[in-house]
């Protein structure tokens, strides 16, 4: 009589983690050497699974917390999960609910990391720096919801990688605020910034001239266009935009100046404030014309930092009002910590861009 062999094994697929970092539990049945694998329709955190025993580890609360649940809570928080969602996850997976206060205390563990990150040393030279703000509602000391701005300083380093140099929470902007930001960068080791791209930040041009006097400041063309069209009558907007394109879309600065002259001739009487805005900011709106098309695309708009902001908002979008500035800074930093994992490669066409910048700026940026 032929002997029948039977084996039952449970294991997890560590390469198939879900959004919460959990692995599916699998069942392997082997009969007479014929193997069949199937899911048991359950998931578990890898750190709670014993590969040697093929089963779940004993779940004592104190042991679990010591084995990484705190990091898991921080990870869930960093993905934008609410305290209720995190508590539900804890109850489902560990059999214990946790309060919002406990979750806040656990996520406070990143505060020393944030402090160290904000004071870390920086490179001596950055090729391009984009600066822009993202706004949130925060409860102030009176218990009122007020608007807070986080000003992010996103940079391109000398190897073509993105790097967030700092984030600064402020109630309002101005020359003094920007002087403090730029002085902070300088104190942490920055000696030169080749190009700064900003969205008409109040007081910024004066501040950067005092700290980094050789920096080229390019105002965001896209924001200038948006601000202009708001003050043009709806029946004229299409025609005005066609004429305006001859300004910002010109092949060089001389052609752009001709386009602006023609724009004033045609629209100056109807929309003098719009035309004056272009004239008053002309030099800083047209710095990009001195560069090649590859670099122009990078600096004529603040889209690079706005793209970063869109990724941050995916995490913060469900937060109505933050209880304080610390809670805001904590979540935005954790979102950044996940985003930066993708910044492993130089920007597209880096080799050509690096050579063009080296030629343009000479001793200020050397490739070799």
* CA distances for 106 relative to 70, 270, 315, angstroms: 6, 59, 18
Please give the C-alpha separations between residue 267 and each of 223, 226, 237, 263, 274, in angstroms, as whole numbers.
Answer: 20, 17, 11, 6, 9
339 shares a domain with 254 = yes
Q: Structure tokens of 307?
A: 């793209």
The answer on 175 and 37 residing in a single domain is: no
Closest by Cα among 129, 125, 128, 147 to 138: 147
Between the alpha carbon of residue 60 and those of residues 33, 65, 66, 104, the distances in Å are: 38, 9, 10, 22
Which residue matches tokens 């010591």? 66
Which of 30, 56, 82 is where one domain is finished?
Answer: 56
- How many C-alpha atoms does 94 have within 13 Å on its Cβ side? 25
Q: What tens-digit pLDDT sequence spans the chain (368 residues)? A: 566 777 888 899 988 888 777 889 998 888 788 888 888 888 887 877 888 888 877 554 455 454 567 788 888 888 888 888 888 888 887 777 778 888 888 888 899 999 999 999 999 999 999 998 888 999 888 888 988 889 999 999 999 999 999 999 887 777 888 999 999 999 999 999 999 999 877 788 788 888 999 999 999 999 999 999 999 999 999 999 999 999 999 999 999 999 999 999 999 999 999 999 999 999 999 999 999 999 999 998 888 998 999 999 999 988 888 888 998 999 999 999 999 999 999 999 999 999 999 999 999 998 87
Helix (H) or strand (E) holding 77: helix 70-78
The DSSP bridge partners found for residue 153 are 131, 166
In terms of DSSP H, where are the helices of the chain? Answer: 61-64, 70-78, 83-94, 100-107, 111-118, 175-187, 204-211, 221-229, 237-248, 253-267, 272-280, 282-285, 293-299, 303-316, 325-339, 350-361
Residue 39 forms beta bridges with which residues? 26
Tokens linked to 294: 């590859």
> What per-residue confidence (pLDDT) applies to 58?
59
Distance CA 84, CA 95 (A): 15
Domain boundary among 27, 56, 85: 56
- Around Cβ 265, how many Cβ atoms within 10 Å? 11
Q: How far is CA 31 from the centre of its chain?
A: 53
Do 51 and 73 belong together in one domain?
Answer: no
Q: What is the DSSP letter of 66?
A: I
Burial status of residue 1 (CB atoms within 10 A of its CB: 0-12, 13-18, 19 or more): exposed
**pLDDT recorded at residue 66:** 47
CB 72 within 8 A of CB 93: no
> What is the residue range of 24's domain?
1-56
How many domains would you assign to the chain? Answer: 3
Residues 205 and 260 occupy one common structural domain: yes
My answer on whether 256 and 360 are in the same domain is: yes
Same domain? For 40 and 79 the reply is no
* DSSP notation for 108-162: GGGHHHHHHHHT----SEEEEEEEEEEEEEEE-TTS-EEEEEEEEEEEE-TTS-E
The answer to whether residues 223 and 340 belong to one domain is yes
Give the model's pLDDT for residue 313. 93
In a shared domain, residues 38 and 101:
no
Residue with tokens 């790097």: 163
pTM over 0.75: yes
Q: Looking at residue 108, what is its pLDDT?
A: 87
Predicted pLDDT at 61 = 46
CA distance 86 to 83: 5
* Residues sharing a CB contact under 8 Å with residue 313, sequence separation 6 or more, in sequence order: 134
| Final residue of a structural domain among 119, 143, 164 | 119
- Both 115 and 169 in one domain: the answer is no
Phi-psi region at 148: left, alpha or beta (left = phi > 0; alpha = psi -120 to 50): beta
Specify the 3-state DSSP secondary structure of 41. Answer: strand
- Answer yes or no: do 197 and 227 share one domain: yes
pLDDT score of 171: 73
Q: Are residues 176 and 264 in the same domain?
A: yes
74 & 207 share domain: no
Beta bridge partners of 44: 23
The rounded distance, in Å, linking the Cα atoms of 212 and 204 is 11
């Amino acid at each position: 009589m032929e002997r029948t062999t039977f084996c039952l094994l449970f294991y997890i697929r560590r390469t198939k983690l879900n959004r919460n970092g959990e692995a599916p539990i699998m069942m392997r049945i082997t009969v007479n050497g014929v193997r069949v694998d199937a899911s048991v329709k359950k998931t578990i955190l890898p750190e709670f699974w014993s590969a040697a025993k093929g089963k779940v580890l004993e779940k004592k609360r104190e042991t679990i917390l010591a084995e990484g649940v705190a990091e898991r809570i921080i990870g869930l928080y960093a993905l934008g999960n609410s305290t209720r969602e995190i508590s539900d996850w804890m109850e489902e997976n560990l059999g214990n609910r946790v309060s919002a206060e406990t979750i806040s205390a656990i996520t406070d563990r990143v505060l020393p990391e944030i402090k160290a990150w904000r004071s870390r040393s920086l490179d001596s030279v950055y090729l391009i720096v984009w600066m822009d703000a993202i706004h949130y509602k925060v409860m102030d000391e009176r218990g009122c919801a007020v608007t807070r701005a986080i000003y992010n300083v996103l940079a391109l380093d000398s190897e073509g990688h993105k790097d967030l140099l700092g984030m600064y929470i402020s109630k309002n902007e101005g020359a003094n605020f920007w002087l403090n930001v730029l002085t902070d960068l300088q104190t942490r080791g920055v000696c030169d910034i080749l190009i700064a791209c900003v969205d008409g930040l109040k007081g910024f041009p004066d501040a950067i001239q005092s700290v980094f006097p050789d920096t080229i400041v390019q105002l965001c063309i896209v924001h200038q266009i948006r601000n202009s069209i708001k003050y043009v009558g709806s029946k004229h907007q299409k025609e005005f935009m066609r004429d305006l394109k001859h300004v910002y879309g010109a092949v060089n600065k001389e052609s752009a100046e001709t386009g602006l002259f023609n724009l004033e001739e045609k629209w100056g009487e109807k929309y003098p404030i719009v035309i004056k805005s272009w004239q008053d900011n002309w030099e800083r709106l047209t710095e990009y014309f001195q560069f090649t098309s590859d670099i122009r695309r990078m600096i004529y708009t603040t889209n690079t930092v706005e793209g970063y902001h869109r990724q941050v908002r995916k995490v913060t979008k469900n937060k109505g009002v933050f209880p304080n500035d610390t809670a805001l800074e904590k979540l935005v930093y954790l979102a950044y910590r996940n985003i930066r994992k993708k910044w492993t490669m130089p920007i597209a066409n880096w080799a050509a861009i690096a050579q063009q910048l080296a030629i343009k700026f000479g001793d200020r940026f050397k490739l070799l």
